[in-house]
Structures are given as structure tokens and as C-alpha cells.
Amino acid sequence: MVSADAVHAGQAAYKGWILKWVYDALVLGFSNHALWKCPTSGLLDLYNANVTSNHLDVGVGTGYYLDRCRFPDPEPRLALMDLNENSLSFAAKRAARYRPETIRCNALEPIPFDGPGFDSIGVMYLLHCLPGSMAEKAVLFDHLRPLMNSGAVLFGATIVQGSAPRGAAAQRLMDLYNGKGIFSNRQDTVEALDHELGKRFPRRDIALVGCVAVFRAFAD
């Protein structure tokens, strides 16, 4: 059973000053490359290869990828979803040229959205922030599936443990983040994520890059 406190902890770190001064430099500039061994440039490539002109992003953080990626159309429909108001407003400002709509909600609960569906959904670095086992986190996919148009792609990445290779510094930082509730990935494995995606999507691919599981799943 996932507690409300644990859900709160998974998004509480994203304060305005962290988003403005720390996140891009520390996570995207340093940790991805030096600790998780999954360079940000590769994750941006994932966006460029999969983002469509009708895109929903869930767990938006600073909106870095939305700002930097190449949408196939200069005027995409863009929706941003996050539990944290700071992340939503920071990312919305950064992507203001696309006039995004914003939806504030907890992705672990049914999503109050009845607008038109999307052709792509990004869930970058969201799952390792969500509390619970991989089976409990995967309800996120059940909530997002009805928002996907036929043939739509859901893509993202998440930091995992299990057999994923990670150095001592990476493990120490993961332990620290898990202790504070910023991460909840002690039991997350690439195999468990693959299993949950396979239960819900007819076609998916998943690969480990460093200790990051990078994945895509396609709606029928």
C-alpha cells in the first residue's frame, strides 16, 4: 500500500530554487553522465526520435527536454502533467512558446482528463520518484493508457537497481535519495519494468544504459 506521505516525498524536492539553480546542472549535467552512466544527450535523442506534435509529458521537472527536443511541427499540442505546482509552472514558462496546457495531478491516481488523446507520452525519470513496488507504480500506465491514441508511443527512462551496473558513488547517492524519499527505487529492476509493460502493451522495447532503464511501449 502506497502512503500519501511517500507520494508527497517523491515530488517535494522540486522547489523553485532547485528547479532554477540546481536540477539541470546536477542531474542532467553531472549525475546522468558521471553516476548513472546514461548521458542526457542520449535521453534527448529518445525525445527527438519519439516525440510527436500531440504530446503529453508527465513528471516535467524543469522542462529541459521539452525545451530542447525537436517537435515534428513548429506548433505542437503540448500538455504538461505533474503533482508539483513548481515543476508545472517552471516547465510551462520554459515551453511557453508552445502554449502548453497544464494538468496538476498525482499520476498514481486516476487522471481527471477527458480531452482528446495524445500520440506520444513522455515519462522521463518519473518512475524512480514514485513509491511502491514496480507493480504498484505501474498503475501509472493503466491511468495513461486511455489517454493514448491508437498507435501512440509512451516513452521514458528510470533509474533502476537489481543487476544494473552502478559504482560506489552512484549507489551511495541512490541510498541517500531513497532515505529521503526523493527516490523509491530500491526494488526497481529492468526485468520488473519489462514485465509490467508487457502486461499492458502489445509491443515494447527496453534497454539498460548504465543503471537507467530506457523504454518505449506502443498502444494497439
Ligand X SMILES: C[S@@+](CC[C@H](N)C(=O)[O-])C[C@H]1O[C@@H](n2cnc3c(N)ncnc32)[C@H](O)[C@@H]1O
Note whether 87 binds ligand X by CB under 6 A.
yes
Using the Cα atoms of residue 93, residue 217, residue 49 and residue 211 in order, give the sign of their dihedral.
positive
Taking CB atoms, the residue at the shortest distance from ligand X is 61
Kindly state the cell numbers that stand for 220: 494497439
> Of 110, 90, 129, 111, which is closest to residue 12 (Cα–Cα)?
129
- Residue 66 lies near ligand X (rule: CB under 6 A): no
Considering only CA atoms, which of 178, 177, 213 is closest in space to residue 197?
213
List the grid coordinates of 180: 529521503
Could you tell me the smallest distance in angstroms from the CB atom of residue 157 to ligand X? 8
Which of 2, 78, 107, 154 binds ligand X (CB under 6 A)? It is 107
For ligand X, give the closer residue by CB, 21 or 220. Answer: 21
Q: 50 or 87: whose CB is closer to ligand X? A: 87
Phi, psi of 145 (to 5 degrees): -55, -45
61, 76, 132, 210: which one contacts ligand X (CB under 6 A)? 61
Cβ(128)–Cβ(134) below 8 Å = no
Q: Say how many residues touch ligand X, by CB under 6 A.
A: 20
* Position 52 contacts ligand X (CB under 6 A): no
74 Cβ partners below 8 Å, 6+ apart? none
CB of 124 to ligand X, least distance (A): 4
Going residue by residue from 188 to 207, which x/- string records binding to ligand X, judged by CB under 6 A? --------------------
177-180's contacts with Cβ under 8 Å and 24+ in sequence apart are 180/9, 180/13
Q: Please choose, out of 76-84, 166-174, 189-197, 207-215, the segment that lies near ligand X by the rule CB under 6 A.
A: 76-84
Contact 39, 181 (CB under 8 A): no
Chosen residue from 108, 170, 213, 217 binding ligand X by CB under 6 A = 108
**Footprint on residues 124-163 left by ligand X (CB under 6 A):** 124-126, 129-130
165, 178 contact by CB (below 8 A): no
Residues contributing to the site for ligand X (CB under 6 A) = 7, 10-11, 14, 59-61, 64, 82-84, 87, 106-108, 124-126, 129-130
